[in-house]
Structure 1
């Protein structure tokens, strides 16, 4: 009898469990439908151009011509005063009448700051934010009479990043600014366009992992390529409607992902004579990229025609070590190596101290970089390479194991201090061109 009573009592429990499961499924299904409806509504917003922060008005400084200095405000991580910091930058219109294959240290520093400004602009385009339009203000101070940050709309909100995960996100946000520059020697005028590309943001990290199969003629990283092609198409469209009659020159800059996209854009312009890429409207191209990851397997990436592309790199930064050279990856142009924090000479120690002082001056806190960071970064990359001979092996059990072991054992918080834009800005403020190594 007891067994029978146990059987009879178990049926309501099973029915209750089944009912709970059905309720859970219904709730999840409803949540899925609701989420899909929200994302669909956001797509409609994007198509109609509604429900997003509008671009700010530009208040250009008409007096900013020739050679001058300006103090540029922007947001930075881990700053002491409301996350807003300032850097004094130099500007000289004559730069854009000089040889673009000659490294310009002052221009490199200005581009490093403008790359940080491009990252900071995202906050302005988040609804409810009181962040200022850093990019518009910075370029206005530099005398630019047209600044466009429209690409940040629908690419800076949390919901847009969720939508990017669902749809795949090889898009890019960038600041585009134009001004007439005049040579102080000849009086010649040119139309300068600056493109400052935002670094990795939200779902763009998925695009960073989209390498492609490397089977194309150039072997360029697919996610970065698609982002660069979007900008190139925008520039060509603008050039087609330009009736100024002036020679067009371009300056590309960006940090991390932004640096990779900037270097690809410059390579497109350099290849224009052969018709290999879309960006054909440039007469001269200047490019300064920072913390640039290796983004191509092209055998000719170091050819002389790309000598106008300068990749400014911190030897302790793990990002320029990726994708690994052992897998056949490289960068377009030339590498400009900052001093090593763990250098053994007296000059190395002097530069390291000057960099730390420059960092503290801007950020309001001590520089967190440490001499052991380079060894830790190199060990991480070595672990990845030991587990996989190429990106295709990362999906194998041994490759995934090696990647997981290397990443889980790394102190990412410490490693990334050498990657931050303001670490690069501080190094450039503490050094001169003679302190850097060009390769």
Structure 2
């Protein structure tokens, strides 16, 4: 993009009241470079190309009209995608990725998608950034499981590191063993890493994630269940934070299934950093017996007879709706901000009724809360902001905040949030404490 194009993009965002953080702005600029012209809220019966930014949720009829007008040469960007009102449209589109919020500068999730992966899959063949393929398997186990992988790597001249490691079981890897191996590979090599499970083979060069230039790329089975069988890590601080968080969770909870721990690591990292995530197509996570296996980029030597890959079909059911829409759930902190206050106390702000309220009011309230905390934290060292659609979600958020011993505030969309919002609450707390000590 030229300087003039950058300036035009900034003017359009400012005119449209679209607030993006640096990482989100970079992703949008990249999309404009790939697709061309950018415009706001383009619902039309005519066939469309370029990048369309949607600021408000569409009705069912309008979403259907927009969907029918799109072509593979068009990308949809939703800069306030944390709102469940966008979920219906997302369900009709191919989900490419999300960029998490970034404090007061970019206090919203940004979702991007379109019609199929064909444009990117074709362009990725010319990618100059090539990942290092890494894989590990139990020492003393069946080494033939990685023979086919080594052979397929030779066809594409890709650097690799495949090694046996000491494991608790001879026939499988535990999550913490896989995560520790990946951390070691992260420290050993400088290029992006692409982990593939033992027994997988490469049918094509897996260059899509490195071409897209993301922090992390993985596949969601059935559109919600995160899989660690294919996992890409770009050389960024945010990717390293995700990996470190996953390893810490796996070490603390070794009995919990790896996909759920990866899900929680993604959620935690996304709440604290603008993690740029790509949701890989099924061709990067094809299983034997899958109808599209012949067109697979990565084919895993496993079959599935259920809709889920995890050991418990009911596990993490509360996260499914949100994950299908590529967003953190109501029971996860949407955003975490920290201040330079030396106190260790935190405050949890729960924004209720986000589904029943105007999307603009929800977005404005999120911006007001994060802006107020950035302006004056009131002495609170940590802010956790949760977005809740239902009363059950509010109860769960309150329970989590109480366990962390946070001050809890419940607010509604459209509520006035002044810049001294947190300072006023801190003063109220001090007065209540004084009354308790000196009745």
Tell me the TM-score range normalised by the shorter chain. Answer: under 0.3
TM-score normalised by the chain length of structure 2: 0.26
Larger Cα Rg: Structure 1 or Structure 2? Answer: 1
TM-score normalised by the chain length of structure 1: 0.26
Higher helix share: 1
Higher strand share: 2
